[in-house]
Amino acid sequence: MTNMLITKGKNKIVVVGSANMDMVISASHFPHPGETLTGYGFMTNHGGKGANQAVAAARLGADVSFIGKVGNDSFGQSTIEMLRNEGIDVSGLTVAEDAPTGVAIITTVPSGENTIIIEPGANAKLTTEDITQAKDLFAQAAIVLMQLETPIPTLIKAAEMAKQQGAYVVLNPAPAAPLPAELLQNVDLLIPNETEAATISGIEVSTDEDFPAAMERLQALGVQDVIVTLGSKGACTTIDGKMVTVPSRKVDAVDTTAAGDTFCGALCTALTQGKTLPEAMHYGCKAAAVSVTRRGAQMSMPYKEEIED
């Protein structure tokens, strides 16, 4: 797989996805229904799974282009400026006049866990036409990386165009949702977490013995490779029918927001550099482990020199 990317002479990652403004507050515990808590540490932070993964890859040295949509508002302008400052090409990022920039309300607790409520805003306005207009970016792509915070028909079109141009298509199916066959048939690598793997495969994933069956079911839907992220336990895949687990570095987590996005961006970066799938998983786990030791989404993501041996 990685040899295919090298021999084509391409190394660009094109991310198709969401861009949000995150509003984060910490509390002693998650509020119960009807409960009012006094929080602390409020901050705003650029987020959205697409933008997060684009930033994660760019900070690790990847050549990244972002295709998405923001509103014609201060959050949108701030997002465009932020992506440019990270060295990301925003020629495929458009501005919606009929919707605000997406927002996410995030609560974190001392254990490092979080809850998130999202208002998609302009992300829901990303159309197949927007994808068609960005066709030149797909022609340059080694990898096209997508998530599920933009409309499914748009992702189907993006995956089709990517495959037509010979790109390797990676889908992080989050938030979890049933996926149509016409999307999965053009996906080379699926990266769900345990919950998402269970939702899509229809097989409950509660023990290590459940993973091979879930992965086999996902591959039967048309996906070539599957990596399941396991949080603090790392990530696993199957290679030649054998389970391969890559452990995560042990750290004191303070905020798990965007850890999965960091993993995806880092893994794709490693693949464009010619690393094997297990090597890329190891790189992704190292980057994610650094991110959970810091608060916030993009602000927690490491730079190349922080994770390379």
Q: Which residues make beta-bridge pairs with 23?
A: 44, 105
Q: Which two structure tokens, joined as six digits, stand for 137? A: 């970016």
Please state the pTM of the whole predicted model: 0.91
Q: Which residues make beta-bridge pairs with 102?
A: 20
Is 261 among the residues known to form the active site?
yes
pLDDT digits (tens, 9 = 90+) for 45-87: 899 999 999 999 999 999 999 999 999 999 999 999 999 999 9
Mean pLDDT of 30-37: 95
Q: Which two structure tokens, joined as six digits, stand for 64? A: 């990244």
pLDDT digits (tens, 9 = 90+) for 87-115: 999 999 999 999 999 998 989 898 878 88
Q: Which residues make beta-bridge pairs with 76?
A: none
Closest CA to 30 of 105, 96, 82: 105
309's CB contacts (< 8 A; 6+ apart) are none
pLDDT for 2: 46
Do residues 166 and 8 make contact, with C-beta atoms less than 8 angstroms apart? yes
223: number of Cβ within 10 Å: 22
| pLDDT at residue 137 tops 60 | yes
pLDDT for 8: 57
Q: Which pairing describes strands 63-71 and 40-47: parallel, antiparallel, or unpaired?
A: unpaired
In the structure, what pLDDT confidence band is assigned to residue 307 with cuts at 50, 70 and 90? Answer: confident
In the structure, what pLDDT confidence band is assigned to residue 309 with cuts at 50, 70 and 90? Answer: low
User: How far apart are alpha carbons 69 and 235 in whole angstroms?
Assistant: 31
Average pLDDT value over all residues in the chain: 91
| pLDDT at residue 221 tops 90 | no
CATH architecture, domain 2-19+49-99+123-301: 3-Layer(aba) Sandwich (3.40)
Active-site annotation holder among 89, 188, 225, 261: 261
| pLDDT at residue 174 tops 60 | yes
Classified as helix, coil or strand, 157 is helix
For the chain, give every domain's residue range.
2-19+49-99+123-301
Do residues 225 and 264 make contact, with C-beta atoms less than 8 angstroms apart? no
The residue ranking higher by pLDDT, 278 or 116, is 278
- Give the DSSP H or E segment for 164: helix 152-164
241's CB contacts (< 8 A; 6+ apart) are none
